[in-house]
Structures are given as structure tokens and as C-alpha cells.
Structure 1
Amino acid sequence: MTTTHETATTATAETETLLEALATQRFFLRHTVRDLTDEQAGRRTTASELCLGGLIKHVATVESAWMDFVVDGTDTVATGGGNWEEQFRMLAGETLADVLAGYEEAARRTEEIVRGLSDLGVSRPLPEAPWFKPGERWSARRVLIHILAETAQHAGHADIIRESLDGAKTMG
């Protein structure tokens, strides 16, 4: 028989495991921009429109939108949360330090929200959007896995962009 304490301990262990995996991917993404100037962080180095600072802005924006969804079911995840193209580049007056501070704040908020949930399985209906199945619901667990996957994917993009910029690699 499973006790309430065992269930709570398992849920806490799952939460901490997911947050630890996300923290690892965040580290790789942040590590990719080590020792860069603002100009370098905003430079495109591949055929893609992506730059390192823009990737971090995008990941922070998406993570914040998904946490809004977890908290109150907002439609921000369907709309992209603002000017989509501006998320992927550093704009005049933006600094890498500011972008990293915004990402740190998004990460802190995510961890606070997730640790405050009593059940990662509680789900909400996804908003109507062409990329979501009609009537689909996502739990906080599914959202966290999505944020983890998106962060890992963009950390890989960042590694390629950084290597194209100056030969530095995130690992190796």
C-alpha cells in the first residue's frame, strides 16, 4: 500500500529530477555565451537568422509563456507572446547581461511555480492553434518536458552558432 508520504516523496523526486535536467540544459545554453561581447551575442554566424542572444531571449520568452499556461491557462503559448521575430535577435540597446538576467528570472519563476505544484499531472486545455491537436490538454509535467526539450534543442543550435563565431564549443 502506498502512503500519502510515499506519494508526496515520489512527486517531489520527480519534480526535482525534471528541474535538475532543465538546469543542466540551461547551463549549456548560458555557457555557450561565456566571454562574449554584446556585439558577438547579436551576430548571425550561419545561414539561419538566429544569434546567441536571440536564442536565449526566445527560450526565456517561451518558458515564461508556458509557465503562464501552467498557472492560469493563458493563450500566450498560441500567440508566441509578442513580436515573434524580435525574440530571435538582440535589438538596439539590449545587452547580453540583460538577456541573461531575463533568462535567470524566467528560470527562477519556473522553479518556484513547479515546486509549488501539488501535482504535476493536473492538466489544462491547450488553446486553439494549428500546431495543437483540437481538444488536447497538457499537464504541468508535459509542459516541463516541452521546456526541457526546447532548451536542449536551442542549446545545440547555440553551440553551432558559437563554433561558427569563434571556434569555441560548449563541450570539448
Structure 2
Amino acid sequence: MTTDKTTTTPEQSATPAVTGERADWLQALAKQRHFLRFTTNGLTDEQAGLRTTASELCLGGLVKHVTSVERGWAEFIVKGASAMPDFTAMTEEDFARRLEEFRMLPGETLAGVLAAYEEAARFTDDLVVSLPDLDAVQELPKAPWFTDTRWSARRVLMHIVAETAQHCGHADIIRESLDGAKTMG
């Protein structure tokens, strides 16, 4: 007869295992983040900033945008609409400045963009684990594209996963146009 003598560090015993729906959210987020990061494997900073299609998008810019989206929506879960701008009051200049998150700007590096993405992901993951109630709702910020008035934390997480997955598809096209590499297939 053998016995399994597994040792547990104090850090491991202090953190309960994440199970159920929260584990599912963490897994869904991790999967989509992996696919987005994977599209940048082996690229130089210059390549990460190249536009390879008719759109303004580049791989580094997509990662910057998804970082901004995830960070903003995670903050929304905590702070509500005050974490976001009043989109109905934004000017053309404001929207033009927001387009900078879709480009690699002078001095930005792919490593820096990916590090910022990791930081945003850690914040969201910690929130998924620690949030007392996934049904907690917040009033949405003012924006012409919202038909709802409130979203639950769960709905926000769904939006983050969907937004990341959508941009993974964009990233696949950009990377394949850049050098023929494919994330899947």
C-alpha cells in the first residue's frame, strides 16, 4: 500500500481552489488571451506595428486595444460607469485619440504591450476569484450603442471574452498576411 504525501505551501493552503462558474470564466479568459498573445510569437517590434490589411489594425495595436477594453470593463465591475467616459459627450478629437490604442506608437515595444496585457489580465482574474457576487449590476456608461441600461459582472465577463475572441480572429488575419503564420490550422 502506498500513500500520497503531498506537501502544501502556506500560500497554496491560504488560497481556496477556484471551481464551478468562476473556474470556467478563468479558463475562457485564459484560452482567448493565449490565442491573442500567440499571434505575436517571434515578432519584432517593427513587425508588431505593421499594418498588413486595409484596416488600421496591427498586432501590437490589437493587444493594446484588448488590454484597454479588459482594463476598462474590469474597472467598470468595481466602480460602475464612473470608470468609463461619457461616450455621448466625446468629440471627434477624443475618438481620434482613442484610435492610438490600435497602433504601436514610437517608443512602444511588443514586450511592453504584452506586459501591460498581463497586468490587466491579472487584475481581471483576481476580480473573478474575489468578487462576492457575479450577479452584481452596474449602470452602463452613456453611449449610443448600448440598448441595455445595466450589466451584471457576469455579463461584463462575457463581453470581455467575446471582445478578446473577436480580436483573436482579426489578429489571425493580420499575422497570416504578415508572414503566413497561422494560430490554428
Quote the residue 2:140 is aligned against: 126
> Displacement, 1:127?
1.4
Indicate conservation of the 8 Å contact 2:53/2:174, yes or no.
yes
Secondary structure, in 3 states, of the residue corresponding to 1:138?
A: strand
Residue of structure 1 aligned with 2:162, choices 149, 155, 158: 149
CA distance in 1 between partners of 2:51 and 2:166 (Å): 18
Contact 1:62 1:77 in 2 (8 A): no
Offset of 1:171 from its aligned partner? 1.2
Given the two structures, how large is their TM-score scaled by the length of structure 1? 0.89
| 8 Å Cα contact 2:137/2:153 also seen in 1 | yes
Mapped partners of 2:141, 2:164: distance in 1: 22
Q: Give the aligned partner of residue 68 of structure 2.
A: 61
Match of 1:140 in 2: 153
CA distance in 2, matches of 1:122, 1:16: 18
Q: Corresponding residue for 2:8? A: none
Identity of aligned residues (%): 64
Q: Which amino acid aligns with 1:118?
A: P
Partner-residue secondary structure (3-state), 2:184: coil
What secondary structure does 2:67 align onto? helix
Equivalent AA in structure 2 for residue 76 of structure 1: M
| Corresponding residue for residue 47 of structure 2 | 40
Structure 2 distance, partners of 1:18, 1:63, is 14
Which sits farther off after the overlay, 22-31 or 81-90?
Answer: 81-90
Note if 1:117 corresponds to 2:131: yes
Residue 84 of structure 1 aligns to a residue whose secondary structure is helix
Report whether the alignment pairs 1:102 with 2:113.
no
Write the distance in 2 (CA, Å) between the matches of 1:107 and 1:78. Answer: 24
Structure 2 residues not aligned, in runs of 5+: 1-17
Larger-Rg structure: 2
Shift of 1:133: 2.1
The aligned counterpart of 2:171 is 158
Question: Deviations along 1:121-150, whole A, 9 cap, x unmatched?
Answer: 11011011101126x110000000000000
Where 2:138 maps in the other structure, the secondary structure is strand
- Residue-pair matches, total: 162
Instruction: Pick from 31, 38, 56 the counterpart of residue 31 of structure 1.
Output: 38
Tell me the distance in 2 between the aligned counterparts of 1:141 and 1:95.
Answer: 33
Q: TM-score, normalised by structure 2?
A: 0.83
- Structure 2 CA distance, aligned partners of 1:127 and 1:157? 26
**Gaps spanning 5+ residues in structure 1: where?**
1-10
Please tell me the root mean square deviation across aligned C-alpha atoms, in Å: 2.0
Note if contact 1:45-1:161 (Cα within 8 Å) is conserved in structure 2. yes
1:4 aligned partner = none
Q: Which runs of 4+ in 1 moved over 6 A?
A: none
Q: Provide the C-alpha distance between the structure 2 equivalents of 1:141 and 1:78, rounded to a whole number of angstroms.
A: 22
Contact 2:25 2:128 in 1 (8 A): no
